[in-house]
Amino acid sequence: MRFLLPLCAVVLTCTAADTVNLIVNGDFSSTDAGTEGPVQGWKGGDGRYVSVIDEDKNRFLRIAMPEKGTAMLLQKFTVEPGWQRIDVSVKIRAKGMTIGDENYKTGMLQYAFRNAKGEVVGGWSKRRVDADQDWTPMTESIEVPADAENLQVECWAMDCVGTFDFDDVKVELTKKP
């Protein structure tokens, strides 16, 4: 065992360095109070519509919008040199939803890079809900644009009606070798 333990430690360190998940409390398991909104680790989110639900011992984020309205929670990250790619994943469930007057007005996970001027670069990336659905995994892999200065990851109900549940939000970062 004396010989094996240091070897294991080295292997684990190498594996962990390949990707790192940027999102704090993306599984909503924390029972701590939020410091910048109702949900720990997340900024914003109107407490009238946003809560963490415990269902069958799993905690997840719920944005419940009984009448047409908007609520959003976000996490923001500064892009560092060497950032290459992000692998985004989330599970979203939707019930009783009605899309707003444009097809993008719905529940979604949105993740956008911006440059130093605050302009979106690399396009508006999002995983959007188009109809009621049970828990559905949604994933996307995107390259980090060369001039990206920050990344903002947002859980939305945008100008729409419905109950939107989010869980297992992950943004796994791969750095250049």
Q: How far apart are CA 152 and CA 22, in angstroms?
A: 11
Q: In terms of Cα–Cα distance, which of 130, 123, 125, 127 is closest to 103?
A: 130
Q: Which is nearer to Ca ion, 23 or 148 (CB)?
A: 23
Q: Is 154 in the site for Ca ion (CB under 5 A)?
A: no
Q: Is 147 in the site for Ca ion (CB under 5 A)?
A: no
Cβ-based neighbour number of residue 30 at 10 Å: 14
Q: Whole-number minimum distance, CB 25 to Ca ion, in Å?
A: 9
Q: Whole-number minimum distance, CB 58 to Ca ion, in Å?
A: 5
Q: Whole-number minimum distance, CB 60 to Ca ion, in Å?
A: 5
* Residue 12 in tokens: 């684990």
Q: Which is nearer to Ca ion, 27 or 172 (CB)?
A: 27
Q: Is 165 in the site for Ca ion (CB under 5 A)?
A: no
Q: How far apart are CA 133 and CA 175, in angstroms?
A: 34
In this structure, are residues 171 and 23 in contact, taking their beta carbons and an 8 Å threshold?
Answer: yes
Partner residues linked to 138 by β-bridges: 90
Site residues (CB under 5 A) for Ca ion, limited to 48-67: 58-60
**Among 167, 169, 171, 173, contact with Ca ion (rule: CB under 5 A):** 167
For 145, the enclosing helix (H) or strand (E) is none
Site residues (CB under 5 A) for Ca ion, limited to 11-50: 27-28
Q: Which residues bind Ca ion (CB under 5 A)?
A: 27-28, 58-60, 167
